[in-house]
Structure 1
Amino acid sequence: MFKIIQLTKWIHRLIFLWLLGGVSMGEPNTQATYITGTIIDSTYFLPLEYASISVINPGTNYKILIGGISDENGEFSIRHTLIGHYTIEVEYIGYETRAFPDLKFSDEENYTIDVDLGKFNLLPKVIKLEKVDAVGFKSPLKVGLDKKTFTISKAESILNQPAEAALRKIPSVDVDIDGIISINGDQNITVLINGLRLSGTHGEKNPYLDLITTGFIEKIDVITNPSVAMDPNGMGGIINIILKDDIVDGFHSSTSFTYGNHKRYNGLLRLSYKKRKMEFELTGFAKSDFSALNSEREYEWQYDSFSLGSIQKKSTTGNPLTGGINFGSTLTISDQNTLHLGSFFTAFNHSSRDSIHHKLPVEYYMTSNDIKRGWNLDASIIHALEFSGDNFLTTTAAFAQSGEHQKEINDRNSNGTGPDDHSHIYQDDAIETREFESVYKTQSPRFGMIQGGTSYQSLAINSELEYLHAPYGFDFNEQVSSGYFRVQKSLKRMLSSLSAGIRIEQRNTSTSVYDIELPDSHQHADTSNVFVALIDSSIANSPPAQKVLYLYPELKTGFTSMDKKLSLTMRYGRRINRVKLAMINPFPVSMIDDEYHVRKGNPFLKPELVDIYQINFSFRLNTKQHPMFTGNIIYKDIQDLIQWHDVDFVIINEQSFEILTADNVARGKSIGYDFALSLSPTKNIRLILDYNNWIQKTSGKGETDLIGNSSGNITDGQIRIALPWKVDFELWYRRYGKHKLTIGEIAPYYYVDLSFGKAIIDKNVYLTLSIHDMFNSRIMDIYTEQAITNPTSGVTYIQKLNAIKYNEQRLISLGVQFNLSAFPTLGESKRDRINKQDRPDDIDVDY
């Protein structure tokens, strides 16, 4: 405890000295000056974060005098008071050490001078090849202190597959059996494409990830606690999908094709052209996928003297069709002006068929053909202006629109001789987003990086439902205006960096639920129908417009040991969970499955506000190679926590119907931790082990079904082996531990993925064979139990649910990628040139 107190006092003293003008160590009566530079990867031309910089004296057995590490931009600024000539060494794991010998640190009069190394590369360690047995590779997964990065170009096993396949390879990120994404068990996340929130990412399941394939993607960044420079929405964190943009001089093209069982196929063609200051890129794809979700659920209601039951089996199958075109162009107006235009259009037909068998209390069969068609259009323009080497202004304008039409045709047969009931349900959803952002960045020798920006976002959602020939409408509008200011200072010795910032945001919302009047209406009013009654109740109780002001502070500090083996960061930040469409849409869902358990949204939901405290650390045995151990501990204090299992009742003609919806709980607290071990026993083998666990506690005066504790854990294991004859092998294992719910639990289960890849270098061809869920073991077994009081009769009973949900997901795919002409990365990508890394915190693109 005494050491902790002393360390705290030492940290406070360093921060205080820095605010007065910086920390200086060395000769007392000399002028304080700086060692500066920028470190980038020589292959991908991306900045290298946490590279170590050491100033050594060759005359004293290479004793390290001072040192530091690079920040998220690959930049470093180390204050020094050294007199004489010294050597600087730069090291980074997996890269060759670079030395700058005999550098002058002072002038002829023994006054210290600045030492600027400029921008320089580090070379990856080269693995010698013998004959054709090329072995060794770079792992696609990079686990850092602040983020996890998965580089698609290094993961041939998921060639031309949906983006979800890549997310499943990232530890602590999960795509569950229903397609819902979570980070460390938290489903409240934000999905960005090139730093922008697009039209297809506002739903609960983020359907945009079903549309985009890995052939478009360069890499995926996962950040659990972003800075104030990014959108504060999503307390679980941000997933940013960065599309490819590696364009070089001349005309280039590549194509890939994947075929799998269940009549799945995926084809992609990519073209690019560059001449002088103009760049063009066109990518098109088409795919046919397969889905098969099965579920069984058994309800039991236990009263004092008797019990009731209900048994249902449901099977959903479909072959979703998707196609899309991505077009982008970049114009370099001058050395200081760059303009980039981008657009992405997708169209889809995700039709499916449900087969439902009710066994109890009355046996009947029901089928539902769900025809779902739609489109997404996203466009953006980015202008970058460089005033000088340290002053940048980036302006972004983006527009996105999507439309979806859904038609359900339902047939119910109770006697086996013909349809007993027939109905149609139509629903149309339209989403439109607009975004404008301007960011200014400058570099100060005294205060470090100074950054400020303003942004405006608007979201308009219109949903129309026709049920029993009665049309209804639901509108939701949101406008968010914000501004932020942020300072980041790189220090030396153990305290590597200190950053602070504040974002101010005003959020305006309006919601309305209404009848749609038709000139020749033939509506069939049926107030005894539970679905109509719920909609009518929502129309009569539409929430009022709201205007709320939010403040989001940020504070971050980082340390590294002098031997560069241990790194530590601590961060505090505030984020918000703006409600999603599925949470607030008052129209009932599952309108044919079970009329006694209806789910609907809650338009009165308030956003969650969360304070996040995070500690990250990494340790490696040496600075040259693996093993490397990383840890991440997160504590969250949540206001107005949203629980997505609130049980209410509605009374129709003296009959009670159970309604499942969402509601706010007074308070919630959660703690999660994620530990990862990465090691390479040989140059040809890479192992990654990861374990993450989360616990959430809710409290307050809310309803009893909302109050309680939940927890869960996920274990990941991955082994990649570079075999002889240019064959890559990958085995990936994920196990879900027991997941405790507030009213029940989900039993443990697991699944395994396997893949082989073969490179034919002479013909520029890469072949892959992959198997997803090799043992068909991804089965969710759910049990819940809760006491419920009927508001009409006052009788309390116990409701038990046993449910099983599983996919037919043993998917076997064979893929081939053929480069008609290569896409070598000979320089910076256009996004790096445009943004000049003006968002130094966590992500390498403009947010």
Structure 2
Amino acid sequence: MKPYLLLLALLCTTFLFSQSKTQEKITISGKIIEADSNIPLEYATVSFTNAQGEIVNGGITNTKGKYAIKVPPGVYTVKYEFISYETKEIPNKQLTQDTTLPTVSLAINTEGLDEVVIRAETTEVQVRLDKKIYNIGKDLTTSGATVSDALNNVPSVNVDVEGAISLRGNDNVRILINGKPSAIAGFGSTDALRQLPAEAIEKVEVITSPSARYDAQGTAGILNIILKKEKTLGLNGSISTNIGHPTSSNVSGNINLRTDKFNIFNTTGVRYRDAPGNAYFNNQYFPTTFTDPETGEEVTTDPRFDRVIEDRLYERQDKGFNTNLGMEYFLTERSSITASGFLRLGDDEDLTTNNARKFSNGSLDETTVRKEREIEEDRTYQLSLNYENKFNDEGHKLTADFQYENDKEEERSFITENRILPSPLSFPSEDIVNNETQKEYLAQADYVLPIGENAQFEAGYRGTFENEVTDYILKQEQENGAFVRNDTLSNIFDYTENVNAVYTQYGNKFGKFSFLLGLRLENTQLKGEIQSNLDEDAFSETLGVDIDTDFDKNYLGLFPTVNLIYELAERENITLGYNRRINRPRGWFINPFPSRSSVTNVFQGNPDLDPAYASAFDLGYLKRWKKLTLTSSIYYQYETDSFERIQEQTGQVINGVNVVRTIPINLSTNERYGFELGLLYNPAKWLRLNGSFNYYNFKSDGSFNGIDYGTENNSWFARGSAKVSLPWKIDWQTNGFYRGPRNNAQTESDGIVFVSLAFSKDIMDDNGTIGLNVSDLLNSRKRNSLTVTDSFISESEFQWRERSVNLSFTYRFNQKKQRGRPDRSRDNGDEEGGFEG
């Protein structure tokens, strides 16, 4: 019996072993590319169907067009799909072991092109480990508009009435162009973004949890604007013209010549725009007693006028020219060098008329008219050189960048003030010349090394070296009519900011879990030298602040980053990010010499400002359905030595009115938390909806000159967009925005609502487009605020630009309409930020 038992045991063992082998899964991998360009297709779908017609398993390709899917051994039909592309199948494929299938190329499905174009006209979102990417579609409301206007349609972003950009309610946001600081975006100012046409944008990356590759500047995060760059072979381009009311016009064009060895590209624009605005101020002043910092004695100021009402009218004429010319030369199939030059010329003329009524004890005592005519000439150029070497198709590469910018601005202001009542009188006029010269060098090198199928190592260096010289000359009219230089306030401020940084980061993916860990080391040098006739003691007496007129500060900091993502399902994931950031004060925040919007209202920088540091956490969730995409985040930030601009009286009285100073200070802490929600919904081919909501709580704690400036603020903003496709190739789009009330330690601001409306029609076999849009349809984009202090109360209304109407025409030659797929061509800027899970 024993031989039979042994044989039976052997058969059972063999059977069980074969069953366990059957249950084991094998890995099937491969790659999908686009047929025309050989560019990898991201998010293409791969599925395995057995002989019974059941889908056993499936997955999607990564950013390199690759897939790796586990299935039990067997015979399958392998199906490859991507929206707007023809489907391919490999029938009856026997798979018994780990196998790498041949690369599959998918071609455009021309029969479904109409649907593809519709998808391209919506704003879509992609989620990476450290950012959200908004592919800006055919947003009609930005036709004839600027980059600054277009950013106001991006979720999480807000552009206020003066053009200041904030992210989740925090205005300390870093603006990059194609992943690098640039003269195109401006240095410490967003004015340049008002001069670049919105049509130049390809996509916007909202980076609320930046990886270690990025500069640590910007406690709110980073907005990386990726500009369009045509990749198709041959000669192609487009030209756009716009006219509008209030009077505006511009012509911009881009042309691209691409061969197998080089790519030449140019974008050029000429603009003219009137930008009328207005403001209203109702200021009430009280007698104030304060302690003189020099003598220690109590001083009481009792202004002659206890109430001043100002009506301001802004007349602005902006004229400019900008051009960007470059060439990319392909040294080999894997390496290229790109050289480009950018030039911007600006010639602006502004007239501000301030009609003031001054009261004493409720009676009108005096009326004055103050006019400030400002002429500004701006000359900016930038030279860039980029080298890229791709060692293989797996992502192993080395890039090096060098960039030089030079910006010269000359502002000349002539200020006159006349009394109308009770009797005509001319006050001394002022002639102000402010020359700013700014130079910046950037050197950067980045190395990327893939490790295996999913891991990636990165390391790099970035150095930015910036010098800004401000030459401020103030001449005042004397009794004999001659203008004499005021040596007390005239000065030269030489400011240098040097930042050297090295970083390393590592990312990997295990099944549905991906992570990216990074560490950045930065050394910051802030150096300033003030040339004036005032010594440090005179500063304290004249300007009311103790400062070091010659300072050199160094800060060394470590900035870790952690970004995690977990795929709950094919179209659903959660993300978690942590990062530490820095906010360095810009030159105008440090320059102690006052700049005057009026004789009695001055802004004064603070040389004692130190950088602020912030730690931030972000928890995100994304879910995609067939017609709906949901994005959401919960975030928290804690900042030390945060900046706050406060207002206080200086003790000076000019023309019977107390002088009020605005000065930035370091508060002790700044704490904010909030959540945001975004929806993209396409219920039908003719209707596309887009909405977002952001709520935040802001709390600060700190004091200055014995006054507590701590405050707590709750606010929110929401935006919505609806686009309807009408017959005869006409599109209609409406955008709405509302920002809720908010406050800081001294000022309460009312909510703001504005609506934009636009229509467009394709003509000339879809090569041309006519557009009409109305910005701020209700003429309601105004900032109303109330400032309350112990010494004065100020009620104000400010409108930067009134409602505008714009008519545009765009003609394209040899350009295909943008299709609804991600752009994966070389040097599209999307690789900035590193590993993608």
TM-score (norm 1): 0.83
Structure 2 CA distance for aligned equivalents of residues 80 and 504 of structure 1: 41
**Contact 1:141–1:170 (CA<8 Å) still a contact in 2?**
no
Spell out the pairing of 1:767-786 with structure 2 (5 A cutoff): 767-786=770-789
Gaps of 5+ in 1: 1-25, 108-112, 517-524, 788-796
Aligned residues: 780
Q: Deviations over 1:453-498 (max 9, x none)?
A: 1111111111110013234111111111111111121232xx3312
Structure 1 CA distance for aligned equivalents of residues 32 and 720 of structure 2: 32
Change (3 A) 1:643 1:819: same
Spell out the pairing of 1:382-781 with structure 2 (5 A cutoff): 382-390=386-394, 391-415=396-420, 417=424, 419-445=426-452, 448-468=455-475, 469=485, 470=487, 471-492=490-511, 495-515=512-532, 533-534=542-543, 541-542=548-549, 544-562=551-569, 564-591=570-597, 593-595=598-600, 597-620=601-624, 622=625, 625-645=626-646, 647=648, 649=650, 657-700=659-702, 704-762=707-765, 764-781=767-784
Structure 2 CA distance for aligned equivalents of residues 310 and 449 of structure 1: 64
Structure 2 CA distance for aligned equivalents of residues 155 and 501 of structure 1: 36
- Note the C-alpha offset of 1:617: 0.8
Q: In structure 2, what residue type is equivalent to 1:359?
A: R
Change (3 A) 1:701 1:813: closer
Structure 2 CA distance for aligned equivalents of residues 711 and 746 of structure 1: 12
Aligned mate of 2:173, from 186, 189, 206: 189
Structure 2 CA distance for aligned equivalents of residues 409 and 529 of structure 1: 27
Structure 2 CA distance for aligned equivalents of residues 264 and 548 of structure 1: 46
Aligned to 1:138: 120
Structure 2 CA distance for aligned equivalents of residues 757 and 812 of structure 1: 14
Change (3 A) 1:556 1:828: closer
Change (3 A) 1:339 1:32: farther
**Contact 1:42–1:124 (CA<8 Å) still a contact in 2?**
no
Q: In structure 2, what residue type is equivalent to 1:668?
A: N
Aligned mate of 2:206, from 208, 214, 222: 222
Q: Percent identity?
A: 20
- Note the C-alpha offset of 1:248: 3.4
Change (3 A) 1:421 1:118: farther
Aligned to 1:21: none
Structure 1 CA distance for aligned equivalents of residues 147 and 38 of structure 2: 24
Spell out the pairing of 1:807-826 with structure 2 (5 A cutoff): 807-822=800-815
SS at match of 1:679: strand
Structure 2 CA distance for aligned equivalents of residues 336 and 354 of structure 1: 56
Structure 2 CA distance for aligned equivalents of residues 48 and 672 of structure 1: 36
Q: In structure 2, what residue type is equivalent to 1:427?
A: N
Q: In structure 2, what residue type is equivalent to 1:336?
A: R
Structure 1 CA distance for aligned equivalents of residues 516 and 400 of structure 2: 23
SS at match of 1:582: helix
Structure 2 CA distance for aligned equivalents of residues 484 and 172 of structure 1: 28
Which entry has the higher C-alpha Rg, 1 or 2? 2
> Does structure 1 residue 250 correspond to structure 2 residue 248?
no
Change (3 A) 1:418 1:752: same
Change (3 A) 1:93 1:531: farther
Structure 2 CA distance for aligned equivalents of residues 831 and 436 of structure 1: 26
Aligned to 1:332: 330
Structure 2 CA distance for aligned equivalents of residues 786 and 85 of structure 1: 79
Aligned to 1:18: none
Q: In structure 1, what residue type is equivalent to 2:375?
A: I
- Note the C-alpha offset of 1:659: 2.2
Structure 1 CA distance for aligned equivalents of residues 80 and 210 of structure 2: 28
Q: In structure 2, what residue type is equivalent to 1:278?
A: F
Change (3 A) 1:553 1:759: same
Q: Deviations over 1:169-198 (max 9, x none)?
A: 212211111111111111111111222212
SS at match of 1:669: strand
SS at match of 2:666: strand
- Note the C-alpha offset of 1:663: 0.8
**Contact 1:27–1:81 (CA<8 Å) still a contact in 2?**
no
- Note the C-alpha offset of 1:743: 2.6
- Note the C-alpha offset of 1:138: 2.5
**Contact 1:505–1:549 (CA<8 Å) still a contact in 2?**
yes
Spell out the pairing of 1:280-291 with structure 2 (5 A cutoff): 280-291=264-275
**Contact 1:202–1:581 (CA<8 Å) still a contact in 2?**
no
Q: Which moved more, 1:142-151 or 1:478-487?
A: 142-151
Aligned to 2:8: none
**Contact 2:120–2:137 (CA<8 Å) still a contact in 1?**
no
Change (3 A) 1:371 1:310: same
Change (3 A) 1:627 1:243: closer
Q: Which moved more, 1:256-265 or 1:81-90?
A: 81-90
SS at match of 1:343: strand
- Note the C-alpha offset of 1:810: 1.4
- Note the C-alpha offset of 1:331: 0.7
SS at match of 1:561: strand
Aligned mate of 2:794, from 793, 801, 804: 801
- Supply the RMSD in Å over aligned alpha carbons: 3.8
**Contact 1:354–1:367 (CA<8 Å) still a contact in 2?**
yes
Structure 1 CA distance for aligned equivalents of residues 171 and 607 of structure 2: 19
> Does structure 1 residue 166 correspond to structure 2 residue 150?
yes
> Does structure 1 residue 58 correspond to structure 2 residue 50?
yes
SS at match of 2:120: coil
Q: In structure 2, what residue type is equivalent to 1:578?
A: R
Change (3 A) 1:474 1:137: same
Structure 2 CA distance for aligned equivalents of residues 292 and 438 of structure 1: 45
SS at match of 1:182: strand
Higher relative contact order (CA 8 A, sep 6+): 1
Aligned to 2:376: 372
Spell out the pairing of 1:69-88 with structure 2 (5 A cutoff): 73-74=63-64, 78=68, 80=70, 82-86=72-76
- Note the C-alpha offset of 1:786: 3.1
**Contact 1:530–1:652 (CA<8 Å) still a contact in 2?**
no
